[in-house]
Amino acid sequence: MNFEALLRMSDVARHFESGKDTIKVLDGVTLTLNPGRRLAVMGASGSGKSTLLHLAAGMDFPDSGSIMLDGRCLADLNEPELTRFRARRIGLVFQDFNLIDSLSVFDNIALVPWLIGQKSDRRAIHALCRQLGVDQLIKRFPSQLSGGEKQRVAIARALIHRPALILADEPTGSLDPDSAEVVLELFDQTVKTFDCAVLMVTHNQAAAARMDDTCWLKHGQLHSTP
């Protein structure tokens, strides 16, 4: 197993302006995540968990500090380079799913391989959908799905290209306990098989307990205890 850091965030700070006030969302966050490891970040609503994920994905940039992913400093990449790098190396599970309404379930999942120049593996897509219990929905469109079904499709899309890093924002939030267990087991299998890593933010203590490590985001900083 490779123990060189896959994700390294060093003294990262991010603030936002609200009128005359400056809101410090992240204040000196340092985090290291190695291949083959799964990290849960917990915290109250508004504590900055989603901001942390967006920074790790290069979808936002820190006001200070540095973020290294797979040996690359995200700040050194221009927008086209960052878009390609993100598509190849990261699997994103958004809290609002971000499915494309005009595409079927199958085409939503096949979109990422197409974007990075890979041929869509129909068997792999069908197999992943069977694991997640959405194989019967493959011809449907997002408007025809429940929240839980959309979430499972979004997870399939995040995993289909075998990313190095899975960034998951409340991935079990819309799921019943049985479906949540399937998703967490799939994360486990994916990490073991492909030596990737998972950074998951969640309110779900049971989901966090399935990860290798858990930390808590409070007052803009990460802590090892609640």
**Domain range for residue 213?**
7-98+164-223
Q: With a cut of 90, say whether residue 115 has pLDDT above it.
A: no
What is the average pLDDT score of the chain?
A: 93
In a domain, 145, yes or no: no
pLDDT digits (tens, 9 = 90+) for 7-50: 999 999 999 988 888 889 999 999 999 999 999 999 998 899 99
In a domain, 118, yes or no: no
pLDDT digits (tens, 9 = 90+) for 184-215: 999 999 999 999 999 999 999 999 999 999 99
In a domain, 127, yes or no: no
In a domain, 129, yes or no: no
In a domain, 125, yes or no: no
Q: With a cut of 50, say whether residue 1 has pLDDT above it.
A: no
In a domain, 126, yes or no: no
- What is the rounded distance in angstroms from the CA atom of residue 73 to the CA atom of residue 224? 26
Residues 6+ apart with CB under 8 A from 191: 36, 37, 38, 197, 198
Alpha helices in the chain (DSSP H): 49-56, 79-89, 105-115, 122-132, 147-159, 177-194, 205-209
**CATH number for the domain harbouring residue 63:** 3.40.50.300
Q: How high is the pLDDT of residue 199?
A: 97
In a domain, 152, yes or no: no
Tally of domains in the chain: 1
Give the CA distances from residue 2 to residues 7, 105, 154, 159, 194, in Å, rounded to whole numbers and listed in that order: 13, 34, 28, 20, 11
